[in-house]
Structure 1
């Protein structure tokens, strides 16, 4: 390392590098310069909390250039999304900085990239937080990288804090990296989304024994191009019709956010039918299709992306003209982050919220994915202590959690030191561990308070931007003078009756294809590999998804109410599903899965369908010793259902003699394993084919 130049010379060089990055007009903000000086001259740890579009990436790219000129090692940037990495690499190239990334999409290039880093050919290495705990990377690559780094950057640093709206356990282990960094390596954490509690939490994790207190640079979060409004509609079809009408009036291109994947596809389909150029975008979209959709929006080839929160951090389109939410996010912080995508490079951007009656149900589902209760965690640790190294699928046979929730729990336990990820899975460390009941309860209470605040945003008569900024603890929050409440110019909720009818018809369009299970869950002792073709079901159908904004609302009402027969219009919609089903051979008989919670609904559905379709109603399957209860992962569900579901002798004989395909009825399909095992029983009894039919599917 060579000596740093004096502050005047350094600032002049920093300004020159900024102009290379952002154009001849660019000048450093005072807080940008303060951050760069703290990193390059003082080698401090810095947290920058500034609004979207402020220029946080300019800080680390300018600092990188200055540090590299001083002979320091490459900058390591921890970045959460591929879309964000792509934007960062493009920005680095504009500044003459050589940037590369290690992520799940380019494993074949990792060795070459490691070599280029070692040879000094790389200025910036971007890695995902998940990579930090890959056993090979963590044990063999990261120590050397941390030792030789010139700067460590954590982008979207609010993900570190479990108080934040977008906590990610893989980020939490960065605190360990911070503690293990050699003295003198500066660290920069940046975010546009942090209230006071999250800011304190991240700053505390930046600090380590023997390291000075972190420098926190927090600015006002006002976005003077945003014009916020709320439009309340009574029904989903009114919201959809209003959206299609309003898209024709909105300037430029933008984003329509939804709360679920199903809603994104449903809304995108309707808008296309209404003549709008839009594309659906979610975490389930193929990566190549996601990239294509992003490029289409960036180049204004489409009016909007209809997206879940998967399109969020890192998507950079300065001229984004509007953000519309069909359904409210569950916190003001999350909402302000998403609307902050708009209006960075234009004078006016429209921000519109269309809240829905189903929002609370969706929030409740997300809340159900929180950190598991202590008995479940203790059982997991005991299983690992007894079993040694175990893969996640193997753990599923002993721990009743969904795969995503189990992995989240294991990552938290890894950060806490109770377990360790190794080749082949996970192992217990034997270190003492305490369940922080008080902290988890406070976080749950904070989540509930955020939801109430989001409901308050919808009904407030005060300035909407000030309301949101106060919830981000922005001390400079003041009336914006632009939102619908400040101006008194509230958007009309009116929409033509014909448009509402068209939207209603689209939402009432029934039918969802349900893929049949083809593989048994891994980890089961006596069931493995492919399900035998002679026991498998055909692809099935459901009336709708519980997460749809059309039939989903009706179906949730049905399942949340008392056990009763379905309404006539719902039954007619099921008949439409059947009439459009292109089966190879028409079913001749009906069998239903038994239901302990809704026997009137399920049995009545099956009998009525058999009568109307002139099919033989053969009866229902039985339980050996009561219903299996509720399980949350595939392995546990298969174990429970196969241990309880049974084929009555009379029903088996009737199936054997029916002479054709059987329609297998249930009220809903969650994991799909009840239907899979029921179909296997019916096939084993002699049915040549089984056609699953349910009222609802979860996804």
Structure 2
């Protein structure tokens, strides 16, 4: 269904002419918000007028930096001055909206946010809300699932709501760039709001399919956008249509380029050599946490003031790092997508990507951080060979399955509340995917979150194969668009390509990117920088911390183990050659673990020897034992034999499976993983004779949960080994 839209290409004076007094009032509020006399940008006043005067439902699709937050703060203030209730803004960016909230407060807009970062202020904020002392309340989508907020706060808020704002609204669409179950709750709220409550949806990243889907979801229940309510012969009045204000997405200040280099060493060397030449301060994006932390460590070691910013960065530290970038006290933040939507530094000078995001939507969104208030900012993409593998993992990681849903619904009941921890011990699902699955099931009405945990509603859940297959196909199509972007021939403008990927057909060639004009960035990599990068990436060895505590919930599985593992059953701290996601040794380790089972390569043997030589153990191993790998028996046996030969140690052989081996997978949660491993390893008699009183080097292929090594070490210690030193080629994480 095509949704009527209003594409603003030039100032529309009709709204201002209709009510000059309202226009003057809105201009005064804008000046207070901006702290100076400024004019509305094209489409801003039209959106405010539609929301405040006509109580319309409005979708604004405008490029980053256009001023979407000004629209919703001003509209909220003007609605309040006309006796309307508090406006609710649902946004994933609360932690990054401090500047906007401060500006709104200076302009007389009483705005407060409820997020995990200000839990100590919740009671006073709720008191202000009850006393009708707020104009704007900002919450995250996840807050809608909080039982207290959902049951005690939201009903009253909806009854007297002045306006609903859905920020980053592409997330409510199945065709958006991310799979966010919490956003699907918003669609249900929107559909059930009275038609006279204005709704504003904003995004900088939406193609026509997403725009149509969002606009359809903004339509009041019982109506369809641009059509009559079912059963009515009369055409719907224009004021009931969803108003779409869509501007051009082309960013004139950005100078785009793609630099394809053969490997990670070359890319890191280029950054080490040329980061200083990029104007001002900026952001260097990496695809994984380990890549970001490794790159930040390397650049710091070579004189750059940079810092890693990832999903594992503490919230308080995030705020400090954001401020450091704004103050130009760091050259760059080396970030994952955790630093994305909502970060506002108008003079950000550059954005570099070490590895490509999986879609033009994500890429446009991240490069939109740069060049908001400067004439020129540089944007450089440095794709990597590992990109497609990483894209594919994230494309499927969030998808639910019927098997997992059935396990959760089978464990829950309508009467007995189960916490996530208890539920995790009853189903074979790890904590993070379990929590995501519960959100999906809740949005679809099959479970309900209550104080203390979860209940089933009795409503069955069926995997919508067509929907999820279509989403996956769309994600792969977007991945191909990114590959096409990387390979654009000369004369095909990169900015036009990105704009067209978002269905903005009005973009004109920029005349500045590396395909419109000459290449603006150097290609050279000095031998010294390359040598330093290779040395940095050539570092080997990660500690495998021993498990010291049994997982909770084992009693629910009929296992009488709890508390600490006895010291005499534990292993010593172990070592892995590399993480699978590492920029350096991660590549050959991944190739060995993800390819056909084969003899270990000389390269990996050399790396393993280096790890062992730098281990620093208190007691040297006396004997080598291998794990009975199901996926890589040849690989594990060959690396164990090679290490034994080099170390002039006896190879005692392998542990044995009992009854066919483990009944759980490495990707399951700790309780189930352990339950599937206990009693599944045996120490053969001839092996036991060789390990009695010995220090055992235990060799495996990959470490995921550490429970396999924990159980194996326990059996070896029980059979007489004095200590166990685990070694693995790869480690996830």
The equivalent position to 1:403 in structure 2, one of 431, 436, 446, is 431
1:559–1:8 CA distance, 2 compared to 1 (3 A): same
1:86 and 2:98 are equivalent in the alignment: yes
What's the TM-score, normalizing by structure 1?
Answer: 0.94
Structure 2 counterparts to residues 220-369 of structure 1, below 5 A: 220-369=248-397
Counterpart for residue 97 of structure 1: 109
* Whole-angstrom distance in 1 between the partners of 2:271 and 2:706: 34
* Whole-angstrom distance in 2 between the partners of 1:493 and 1:445: 35
Q: Following TM superposition, by how much is the alpha carbon of 1:483 offset from its aligned partner in structure 2, in angstroms?
A: 0.8
Q: Following TM superposition, by how much is the alpha carbon of 1:392 offset from its aligned partner in structure 2, in angstroms?
A: 2.8
Q: Following TM superposition, by how much is the alpha carbon of 1:224 offset from its aligned partner in structure 2, in angstroms?
A: 0.4
Structure 2 counterparts to residues 423-438 of structure 1, below 5 A: 423-438=451-466
1:482 and 2:494 are equivalent in the alignment: no
Q: Following TM superposition, by how much is the alpha carbon of 1:107 offset from its aligned partner in structure 2, in angstroms?
A: 2.5
Q: Which moved more, 1:472-481 or 1:336-345?
A: 472-481
What 5-or-longer segments of structure 2 have no aligned partner? 1-16, 224-239
Q: Secondary structure at the match of 1:485?
A: coil
Q: Secondary structure at the match of 2:608?
A: helix
The equivalent position to 1:632 in structure 2, one of 667, 677, 680, is 667
1:59 and 2:71 are equivalent in the alignment: yes
Counterpart for residue 118 of structure 1: 130
In the TM superposition, what whole-angstrom CA distance separates every residue of 1:604-639 from its partner, at most 9, and x where no partner exists?
Answer: 222332333344433322101223363422233222
In the TM superposition, what whole-angstrom CA distance separates every residue of 1:481-533 from its partner, at most 9, and x where no partner exists?
Answer: 11110113353422112221211111111112233333333332224444333
In the TM superposition, what whole-angstrom CA distance separates every residue of 1:266-285 from its partner, at most 9, and x where no partner exists?
Answer: 11111112211110110011
1:662 and 2:696 are equivalent in the alignment: yes
The equivalent position to 2:613 in structure 1, one of 572, 579, 602, is 579
1:189–1:528 CA distance, 2 compared to 1 (3 A): farther
Counterpart for residue 149 of structure 1: 161
1:321–1:413 CA distance, 2 compared to 1 (3 A): same
Q: Following TM superposition, by how much is the alpha carbon of 1:227 offset from its aligned partner in structure 2, in angstroms?
A: 0.6
Q: Secondary structure at the match of 1:126?
A: strand
In the TM superposition, what whole-angstrom CA distance separates every residue of 1:246-271 from its partner, at most 9, and x where no partner exists?
Answer: 21211100000000001001111111
Structure 2 counterparts to residues 199-218 of structure 1, below 5 A: 199-209=211-221, 212-218=240-246
1:542 and 2:576 are equivalent in the alignment: yes
The equivalent position to 1:9 in structure 2, one of 18, 21, 32, is 21
Structure 2 counterparts to residues 171-186 of structure 1, below 5 A: 171-186=183-198
Counterpart for residue 191 of structure 1: 203
* Whole-angstrom distance in 2 between the partners of 1:282 and 1:128: 19
Contact map agreement 2:194 2:220 (CA 8 A) in 1: no
1:109–1:690 CA distance, 2 compared to 1 (3 A): farther
Q: Which moved more, 1:374-383 or 1:112-121?
A: 374-383
Structure 2 counterparts to residues 398-477 of structure 1, below 5 A: 398-461=426-489, 462-477=492-507
* Whole-angstrom distance in 1 between the partners of 2:568 and 2:174: 48
* Whole-angstrom distance in 2 between the partners of 1:454 and 1:38: 37
Q: Following TM superposition, by how much is the alpha carbon of 1:433 offset from its aligned partner in structure 2, in angstroms?
A: 4.1
In the TM superposition, what whole-angstrom CA distance separates every residue of 1:563-621 from its partner, at most 9, and x where no partner exists?
Answer: 33333333222222223324344433332221122222212222332333344433322
Contact map agreement 1:79 1:85 (CA 8 A) in 2: no
Contact map agreement 1:594 1:622 (CA 8 A) in 2: yes
Contact map agreement 1:87 1:314 (CA 8 A) in 2: no
* Whole-angstrom distance in 1 between the partners of 2:442 and 2:647: 56
Q: Following TM superposition, by how much is the alpha carbon of 1:688 offset from its aligned partner in structure 2, in angstroms?
A: 4.1
Q: Following TM superposition, by how much is the alpha carbon of 1:43 offset from its aligned partner in structure 2, in angstroms?
A: 1.6
Counterpart for residue 497 of structure 1: 527
* Whole-angstrom distance in 2 between the partners of 1:643 and 1:202: 53
Q: Which moved more, 1:278-287 or 1:563-572?
A: 563-572
Contact map agreement 1:655 1:687 (CA 8 A) in 2: yes
* Whole-angstrom distance in 2 between the partners of 1:387 and 1:559: 45
Contact map agreement 1:390 1:425 (CA 8 A) in 2: yes
Q: Following TM superposition, by how much is the alpha carbon of 1:557 offset from its aligned partner in structure 2, in angstroms?
A: 1.4
* Whole-angstrom distance in 2 between the partners of 1:79 and 1:204: 20
Q: Secondary structure at the match of 1:200?
A: helix
Contact map agreement 1:231 1:492 (CA 8 A) in 2: no
Contact map agreement 1:83 1:315 (CA 8 A) in 2: no
* Whole-angstrom distance in 1 between the partners of 2:465 and 2:141: 26
Q: Which moved more, 1:215-224 or 1:522-531?
A: 522-531
* Whole-angstrom distance in 2 between the partners of 1:308 and 1:337: 13
In the TM superposition, what whole-angstrom CA distance separates every residue of 1:184-217 from its partner, at most 9, and x where no partner exists?
Answer: 3222111111111112222222223156332221
Q: Secondary structure at the match of 2:397?
A: coil
* Whole-angstrom distance in 2 between the partners of 1:386 and 1:43: 41
1:623–1:139 CA distance, 2 compared to 1 (3 A): same
* Whole-angstrom distance in 2 between the partners of 1:530 and 1:476: 65
Q: Following TM superposition, by how much is the alpha carbon of 1:463 offset from its aligned partner in structure 2, in angstroms?
A: 0.9
What 5-or-longer segments of structure 1 have no aligned partner? none
* Whole-angstrom distance in 2 between the partners of 1:298 and 1:386: 50
* Whole-angstrom distance in 1 between the partners of 2:79 and 2:377: 38
Counterpart for residue 509 of structure 1: 539
Q: Secondary structure at the match of 2:554?
A: coil
The equivalent position to 1:679 in structure 2, one of 701, 704, 713, is 713
Contact map agreement 1:394 1:523 (CA 8 A) in 2: yes
Q: Which moved more, 1:12-21 or 1:431-440?
A: 431-440
1:82–1:38 CA distance, 2 compared to 1 (3 A): closer
Contact map agreement 2:697 2:727 (CA 8 A) in 1: yes
* Whole-angstrom distance in 1 between the partners of 2:570 and 2:211: 53
In the TM superposition, what whole-angstrom CA distance separates every residue of 1:525-573 from its partner, at most 9, and x where no partner exists?
Answer: 2244443333233332211111011111111112233333333333222
* Whole-angstrom distance in 1 between the partners of 2:591 and 2:720: 37
Q: Following TM superposition, by how much is the alpha carbon of 1:386 offset from its aligned partner in structure 2, in angstroms?
A: 8.9
Q: Following TM superposition, by how much is the alpha carbon of 1:42 offset from its aligned partner in structure 2, in angstroms?
A: 1.5
Contact map agreement 2:55 2:196 (CA 8 A) in 1: yes
Q: Following TM superposition, by how much is the alpha carbon of 1:70 offset from its aligned partner in structure 2, in angstroms?
A: 2.0
Structure 2 counterparts to residues 369-408 of structure 1, below 5 A: 369-385=397-413, 388-408=416-436
Q: Following TM superposition, by how much is the alpha carbon of 1:158 offset from its aligned partner in structure 2, in angstroms?
A: 1.3
Q: Following TM superposition, by how much is the alpha carbon of 1:468 offset from its aligned partner in structure 2, in angstroms?
A: 0.9
Q: Secondary structure at the match of 2:285?
A: strand
* Whole-angstrom distance in 1 between the partners of 2:614 and 2:415: 50
1:388–1:697 CA distance, 2 compared to 1 (3 A): same
Q: Following TM superposition, by how much is the alpha carbon of 1:643 offset from its aligned partner in structure 2, in angstroms?
A: 5.0
* Whole-angstrom distance in 1 between the partners of 2:656 and 2:349: 57
In the TM superposition, what whole-angstrom CA distance separates every residue of 1:449-471 from its partner, at most 9, and x where no partner exists?
Answer: 11111111010111111111111
Matched length: 693
Contact map agreement 1:381 1:428 (CA 8 A) in 2: yes
Q: Which moved more, 1:394-403 or 1:459-468?
A: 394-403
* Whole-angstrom distance in 2 between the partners of 1:386 and 1:8: 58
Counterpart for residue 233 of structure 2: none
Counterpart for residue 644 of structure 1: 680
